[in-house]
Amino acid sequence: MQAAIGIDSAKQALKSYFGYDEFRSQQPEIIETILSGRDAIALMPTGGGKSICFQIPAIVMPGTCIVVSPLIALMKDQVEGLLANGVKAAFINSSSHSSENQRVETLAIRGELDLLYVSPEKLLSADFFNLMSQLNINLFAIDEAHCISQWGHDFRPEYVQMGLLKDRFPDIPFLALTATADKLTRRDIEQHLHLRDPQVFVSSFDRPNLSLTVVNGANRATDILKWVKDRPKQSGIIYCLSRKTTESLAAKLIDKGYKADFYHAGMSADRRSQVQEKFIRDDLDIICATIAFGMGIDKSNVRWVVHYNLPKNIESYYQEIGRAGRDGVLSETLFYYTYGDVQQMQSFIEESGQQEILQTKLDRMIQYADAKSCRRQVLLAYFGEQHEGNCGNCDNCKDPKVEIDGTVLAQKALSACIRANEKIGVHMVVDILRGSSNQELKMKGFHLLKTYGAGQDISRRDWIDYIVQLINRGLLEIAYDEGNALKVTPAGREVLFEGRKVFLSKVREYAQQGKPIKVAPAPKPLPSFADALFEKLRQLRKDLADKQGVPPYVIFHDRTLRLMAEEFPTTETQMRQVSGVGDRKYQLYGADFIDAILRFMQDRKLKS
Ligand code: ADP
Ligand code: ZN
């Protein structure tokens, strides 16, 4: 009889295959549940470490694990990563050649695969059921399990039929995994997959290694140049609302000498996969993309994500920033908030026919952008999770907003609106307050108003920020059906006529006049020795990756390279202690990296 397989052998496999010393929170519990034969549902944020939860049981239990994954790119990526770690894995999907699928089937039947990845369409085919009946299956892992829910954003009809699978294989454990946490989705997963009394694991959705910063986007066109300049050679994604912006922004960056490109759904599939591939292989540093980009990309060393425009809701925002820092290394996120974007989003909503839901979601997004307290707390509260705040890694924690008495300021703005008969929008209000000599203003006679020039001491950009705050505080309202004219609400009238006080947050300084961006410092630089060594090792990694035709992070994650650069291991024992160096990786690359470190140290005349 086979000895029971427990968490100890799981831990050994974690070290020898993946080079990691410890499980992350909930991984051991999930793995134990699977090893005991029970079904489970695991909800973890992107980058939380879901894959290990089925990969380890698949390795330590006899037989093969069937992994259902809806995204072919992701399947390919995972299999590539597993093979590089010496794990026997393969995938079958309808896009591969039949000879390749044949080869994989043969391997599976011979029992030579620990993991077999398959698309849901393929899974449900008669052929595949036939193949499965010849295999010793130890686990079914259903990745992206939220695709089963009609309530969710990625509903896939094939997923609903997957209940058949559990009916056909009632005694094999199922693990459903997703990064979507809401209760409705969870219930759908349990019911539609026909899971039997599954144990549900809900991890924290916090990603503490991601910094959160929201800035006024009035000068984003120039601010972004400074942002990328401060982050040389780092991989980053800039999310834009329109295809046109992705193209013009990429052109501007290329013109400045950056390795950048654009990505959107209007490009041919070939061109898109070309851009994606170059980004994954570190041949491109910056991608300017619409939200079409990112699904199914597992690139672990994305160091920053910028929202050049307002995301449409918090779910998308969180998913998009989640593409940064999957390797756990400190990574940055920046969101340029502008009034113009709110207006534009608003007009999309008017046209959509689903006003109520979309409006509520947009309002929550704006509340987040406008938050004065810890952003992480606000964000996690949206997903129903309590966080005590003071995260220390968001702009509001690092540089608390200063509250000012904005009564006089508000009165000036409100008065300008009323004197112009509440028929003007934000920009005209600011023109009046700043005493602009714009033609239209003069034609309408606004230069004769009492408030004309009453706010010259405040910059245009700051005025817009303050007016947006007045809107968010319910003192002004936008009449979308009247060309976005601003209307003073009853509360606004109290401020104007009854002396009601208004408190506003002082607009922060952002990278003005070449000043460094105070609120979003680049991650703490490594000491120069480690920095230089990191660059050397990165180059070595890139060369090896290109030779083998794999993405660099498949060789080692950034985090592993950083550890090497800080600890400079020069013996086998030292090298094997570095997190991320498993047996296979040591055999393949250990000597090359030790050599590079020794050479570097010799150059620097340092003795090990
Ligand atoms: P998810 O599928 O949840 O988005 P992954 O499974 O891709 O996340 O894991 C994210 C990253 O964390 C990967 O680079 C993975 O190698 C790493 N990781 C997972 N578990 C551990 C662990 N126990 N120790 C160190 N790194 C881990
Ligand atoms: Zn915070």
pLDDT digits (tens, 9 = 90+) for 245-300: 999 999 999 999 999 999 999 999 999 989 999 999 999 999 999 988 877 677 88
pLDDT tens column, 467-491: 988 887 888 988 877 888 999 999 9
Q: How far is the CA of 507 from the centre of ligand 2 (A)?
A: 18
Q: Whole-angstrom Cα distance, residue 506 to residue 166?
A: 58
- What mean pLDDT is predicted for residues 21-26? 92
Residue of 83, 148, 93 lying closest to 117 (CA atoms): 93
Res 497: pLDDT: 93
- pLDDT-based confidence at residue 3 (cuts at 50, 70, 90): low
Rg of the chain over Cα atoms, rounded to whole angstroms, equals 27
Crossing angle of helices 314-321 and 375-382, in 10° steps, is 120
**Candidate from 24, 50, 51 with most ligand 1 atoms within 8 A of CB, to mutate:** 51
**Identity of the amino acid at 424:** I
520 vs 334: CA distance, rounded Å:
8
**How crowded is residue 146: how many other Cβ atoms within 10 Å of its Cβ?**
25
For the segment 36-59, the average pLDDT, to the nearest whole number, is: 94
| Residue 105 CB neighbour total at 10 angstroms | 21
What share of the chain has pLDDT > 90, as a percent?
65
603: tokens are 């150059």
Check if the beta carbon of residue 78 is closer than 8 Å to that of residue 89: yes
Average pLDDT across the chain, whole number: 89
Q: Give the per-residue pLDDT at 604.
A: 82
pLDDT score of 52 more than 60: yes
Predicted confidence (pLDDT) per residue in 510-539, tens digit: 543 333 334 444 555 556 888 899 999 999
Each residue of 8-18: pLDDT tens digit? 999 999 999 99
* Ligand 1 centre distance from Cα of residue 20 (Å): 10
Q: How much is the pTM?
A: 0.80
pLDDT in tens, 394-427: 999 998 888 899 999 999 999 999 999 999 999 9
- Supply the pLDDT for residue 442: 92
Could you list which residues have their CB under 5 Å from ion ligand 2? 374, 376, 391, 394, 397
pLDDT(206) > 50: yes
Distance of CA 371 from the midpoint of ligand 1 (Å): 31
Task: Look at residue 166 and tell me whether its pLDDT is greater than 50.
Answer: yes
Containing H/E element for 476? strand 476-479
Q: What is the pLDDT of residue 186?
A: 83
* pLDDT over 70 at 496, yes or no: yes
Span 571-575, mean pLDDT? Answer: 96
Q: Which of 23, 44, 52, 180 to mutate to test the pocket of ligand 1 (most atoms within 8 A of CB)?
A: 52
Which tokens in the block code for residue 571? 């013996």
Q: Is the CB of 326 under 6 A from ligand 1?
A: yes
Reported as a single tens digit per residue, the pLDDT across 330-359 is 999 999 998 889 888 888 888 877 777 788
pLDDT of residue 358: 81
Starting from the CA of residue 372, give the closest ligand. Answer: 2
Least confident of 177-181, 230-234, 565-569: 177-181
Check pLDDT > 80 for residue 564. yes
Residue 163 in this model has a pLDDT that exceeds 70: yes
Average pLDDT over residues 458-473: 87
pLDDT of 1 reads 41
Among 358, 343, 266, which residue's Cα sits nearest to residue 312?
Answer: 358
Distance CA(75)–CA(9), nearest Å, equals 26
pLDDT of residue 608: 46
DSSP 341-365: HHHHHHHHHHHHS-HHHHHHHHHHH
pLDDT tens-place string over residues 598-608: 999 888 875 44
